[in-house]
Amino acid sequence: MISLLFIFLGSIFIAGIINRTTANFSGRKGQGIFQPIKDIIKLLKKGSVYSSVSSFVFKIAPSVYFSSVLTAVLFIPFGSSGALLSFDGDFVMFAYILALGKFFMIIASLDTGSSFEGMGASREALYSMLAEPAFFILLGSLGLLTGFSSFYKIFYFIHNAYSASSYISYTIGIMAALIFFALGLIENSRMPIDDPKTHLELTMIHEVMILDNSGFDLGLILYTGCLKFSMYAALAANLFLNPYFPFYLNIVIFIGIQFLYGCFIGSIESFSARFRMNQNPQVIFALSSVTLLVFIAVMILTGKFNY
């Protein structure tokens, strides 16, 4: 319950932190931190307009998308405080609940009959497929390191691995956090994979998928994106929430990592250009190669790999 509360709080601030970071690096005053959530609330108060060629799939997809992310959040613990949903192998359920929501968004974009939205759906499906191995290799490696297969036990006992092993284990934790950060960028189609501010349909990914959404549905989709950012930041934060620390210190660490993630995204969007479309699959697939380094390091630490 504690993790759910802090993830919701993080989702309110994280989009504003991203925008303020981008504005500061650009030398602009920028909008207030709460402006993105105010815009979302304004959209949630409006009605939705539906095309005459779309079916019920288009109407229910935003709700399914939001519900899938909300359900996935229930699997995330907060340090020594367990998650609302926890069982052996729950990270597999976590991944495929998120996939269910993305599947509905993909078929909803196809349901509009727009060729542009079909292109965006195809790219979204491809990039999600390429990012999936990185997630499973990473969680499998952490499970091998701790001997457990649920989020709560992995994050709770990973600090025993830190204290019982050499500096390599701390490097694993930092690399794992960076991989969670990168997965969040890919899942939300942000720079350098996609530019959410572009208006050229031929090069858009996620934004072109939701061109036909409006009002309440659009607000729900935008807020779900904020929730996903906060969710991936929470996964990274759990790598550093030590059960032996005072509770208030873990809260500071959690909030600090949420803030750093927002600054991290804003910095990338300020100083990097978007990759060429044909380079994106190579870059995303390279993320799996990085997770293989984590896997090899874990094999060394656990004595299953002779070097």
Q: Label residue 176 by pLDDT band (50, 70, 90).
A: confident
Query: Is residue 305, in this structure, part of any structural domain at all?
Result: no
The reported pLDDT for the residue numbered 300 is: 79
**Domain count of the chain?**
1
**Least confident segment among 30-34, 59-63, 165-169, 172-176:** 165-169
Q: What is the DSSP string of 251-293?
A: HHHHHHHHHHHHHHHHHHHHH-PPPPTTTHHHHHHHHHHHHHH
Q: Is residue 219 part of a domain?
A: yes
For residue 145, tell me if it sits in a domain.
yes
Domain membership of residue 288 as a residue range: 2-300
pLDDT digits (tens, 9 = 90+) for 103-122: 999 999 888 877 788 888 88
Looking at the chain, the whole-number percentage of residues with pLDDT higher than 70 is 94
Calculate mean pLDDT across residues 17-44: 86
Q: How confident is the model at residue 223 (pLDDT cuts 50, 70, 90)?
A: very high
pLDDT at 66 > cutoff 90 = yes
Provide the pLDDT for residue 305.
Answer: 63
Residue 94 in any domain: the answer is yes
The verdict on residue 143 lying in a domain is yes
**What's the whole-model pTM score?**
0.90
Structural domain includes residue 101: yes
